[in-house]
Amino acid sequence: MECKIILMGFGSVGQGIANVIAMKKDIIKDNYDAELKLVAVADSSSSAICQEGLDEQLLIDTKKNKGKLSNYPEYGSDISGIDVLDAVEYDCLIECTPTNKETGEPAYSLTMKAFEARKDVVTSNKGHLALRFKDVIDAAEKNNVQFRYEATVGGAMPIINCAKDTLSSCKIESITGILNGTTNYILSRMTAEGSSYEDILKESQELGIAETDPTADVEGEDAACKTVILANSLLGVDATYTDVEVIGISNITSEAIELAKDAGYLIKLIGEVTPTTLKVSPRLVKKGSAYDVSGTLNMATIKTDLADEITVVGKGAGSIETASAMITDLISILKLKK
Amino acid sequence: MEILLLKRLLGLNKVIIVRMNLLVEVKDAPGQLVAVLEPIRGLGANIVTVIHKREAKNEQGNVPVQLTLEGEKENLSNVVNKFKDLGFSILEINGTLDTEIISAILIGHLVDENLQDTIDRLNELEGVFVNEFNIQLSEDNKSAALINIELNAGKEELALGKLAEICSEKDFLMINNV
Ligand SMILES: NC(=O)c1ccc[n+]([C@@H]2O[C@H](COP(=O)([O-])OP(=O)(O)OC[C@H]3O[C@@H](n4cnc5c(N)ncnc54)[C@H](OP(=O)(O)O)[C@@H]3O)[C@@H](O)[C@H]2O)c1
């Protein structure tokens, strides 16, 4: 069986997908009898399209060295955006365009179009899910297609599939966790070094851990999107972004961290999901507790009715790490088709 | 509390207010209760409650006095030492009350926004007591404080609700336990 893939978005995560496919396609063929082929790959203004399949390494080299995918030898194209979905035959859309929590675009339109064409979709994009989770899920059901989004929460850290599949006998009562790696990194370093928020933010930006515009991370917006996705997918709460109470970390002072430390606590940006509360805020956690994870790591404690508490920890971001969750989602879809 | 604020104004930027429960045994004789209370004042501690349990007189003719004191840690330990020097027997320190302590960090203009009022409004609640208020002043006038609140069982929601209300009114960032 062939699995023809359109990959929308060719930044950090998109290139991770190309890398992972190159690394794992033989094993996937052996184990699941599926031959993965990238038939179209798009960035913001161009694409590379070939029904016979594109070369993963050449895609990465072209993007790195020549900037635009239209420079891909022979198959480079000026077709971009939603039109790419009409330019080639495919089975699955892997969508990793930038998250936009104001409009949910381009993810929403791309996903809807794929569903209507009866194609499965795997995404890492939080925007459309934080705004219109139910619309997206309903459309997938209506069109009888698969939709997977493990990478949207906690990157490589397994949480959505873990709760849905591995803990399927349990009712999920609440989820509490560190859902943003950038803020965890900043707070961890403030704790270790006693430095100010401003100084550590600046250094994090220089290291590429925080973005030039750090708002989405430091003001808790990214974590808030994730609480919405968890509430909808695991607790069955019909919530949207505006339902989240959000407080970020930009007002945390080194004095506050010091006081917490003296009393045996750490300050962490915590996302909380219960049937009645959606909240992202700085909180005190006990040193040595499950919440005591530092650096860019993410963690979440899932409270269930039967299994009590289950805690997962993992890398919340990274090119290959995030791609790993998406390819796992793809394999789950392949298993259903077998 | 006035003493504590004064200390802050004098440039000591760490102020820790603690509450302590003491069970002291005294002779059931005239003047004994005063003898116990007398040394406390001079040592910078405030007396919150005194319960003189005359009905609980033991075979030696001694009666227990239950004291709740508040003040800086150091002052309270001076009181304990003074009691020992004076030969009062201390049966219990900090008792075995059925209480729990919750912590929170506050960030904001804690002093300008009437520190005393913040503490008083929590203390007004039944079964809620601010046990420690450790304030750290910073150069850019937003200070931070660790507040420990001692609670009787079942009072957590009440206390946190009130604290959240005060914080939102005074524009403090409240960081409470997860
Ligand atoms: N980075 C992570 O570790 C991570 C982890 C979990 C989830 N995510 C999510 O995954 C998504 C991708 O993240 P990223 O870090 O890979 O972002 P990125 O490096 O900024 O890459 C975004 C890519 O999308 C392309 N793009 C922008 N608008 C497009 C459009 N309308 N149509 C097609 N492509 C478009 C960009 O094109 P140009 O190359 O032309 O700019 C770029 O190639 C985001 O939604 C993010 O929230 C990321």
Tell whether the model's pLDDT for residue A73 goes beyond 80: yes
Mean pLDDT value of segment B17-36: 84
DSSP state of A171: P
Pocket test for ligand 1, best of A44, A46, A152 (most atoms within 8 A of CB): A44
A306's tokens: 């039967």
* Identity of the residue in B136, B138, B178 whose CB atom sits nearest the CB atom of A285: B178
User: Does residue A290 sit at the B interface (CB-CB below 8 Å)?
Assistant: no
Where residue B12 falls among pLDDT bands split at 50, 70, 90? very low
Domains in chain A with CATH codes? 2-156+319-337 (3.40.50.720), 165-315 (3.30.360.10)
Q: Which residues line ligand 1 (CB under 6 A)?
A: A 8-14, 42-45, 81, 96-99, 106, 124-126, 151, 155, 317-318, 322
Domains in chain B with CATH codes? 18-93 (3.30.70.260), 98-176 (3.30.70.260)
User: Does residue B176 sit at the A interface (CB-CB below 8 Å)?
Assistant: yes
Q: Which of A141, A6, A20, A26 is nearest to A87 (CA)?
A: A6
Quick: pLDDT tens for B98-129: 467 899 999 999 988 898 999 999 999 988 88
According to the model, what pLDDT value does residue B16 have?
Answer: 65
Where residue B61 falls among pLDDT bands split at 50, 70, 90? confident
Q: Which of A147, A155, A142, A153 is nearest to A110 (CA)?
A: A147
According to the model, what pLDDT value does residue B150 have?
Answer: 85
Mean pLDDT value of segment B134-144: 82
Q: What is the mean pLDDT of chain A?
A: 97
Tell whether the model's pLDDT for residue A253 goes beyond 80: yes
| Chain A residue nearest residue B144, CA to CA | A256
Sign of CA dihedral A104, A106, A109, A111: negative
- Contact B178/A291, CB-based, under 8 Å? yes
Tell whether the model's pLDDT for residue B90 goes beyond 90: no
DSSP state of A200: H
* Identity of the residue in A247, A253, A265 whose CB atom sits nearest the CB atom of B144: A253
| Pairing mode of beta strands B173-176, B143-152 | unpaired
- Which is more confidently placed, A253 or B31? A253
Choose the weakest-confidence range: A110-114, A255-259, B77-81, B104-108. B77-81
Contact between A226 and A270 under an 8 Å Cβ cutoff? The reply is no
- Residue B137: half-sphere exposure toward Cβ, Cα within 13 Å: 15
Give B32's contacts (C-beta < 8 A, 6+ positions apart): B26
Quick: pLDDT tens for A28-45: 999 999 999 999 999 999
Cα torsion for B117, B120, B125, B128, to the nearest 10°?
120
pTM metric for this prediction: 0.83
Pocket test for ligand 1, best of A8, A10, A79 (most atoms within 8 A of CB): A10
HEC string of chain B? CHHHHHHHHCCCCEECCEEEEEEEEEECCCCHHHHHHHHHHCCCCEEEEEEECHHHCCCCCEEEEEEEEEECHHHHHHHHHHHHHCCCEEEEECCCCCEEEEEEEEEECCCCCCHHHHHHHHHCCCCEEEEEEEEECCCCCCEEEEEEEEEECCCHHHHHHHHHHHHHHHCCEEEEEC
B109's tokens: 């203009």
According to the model, what pLDDT value does residue B153 have?
Answer: 67
According to the model, what pLDDT value does residue B95 have?
Answer: 55
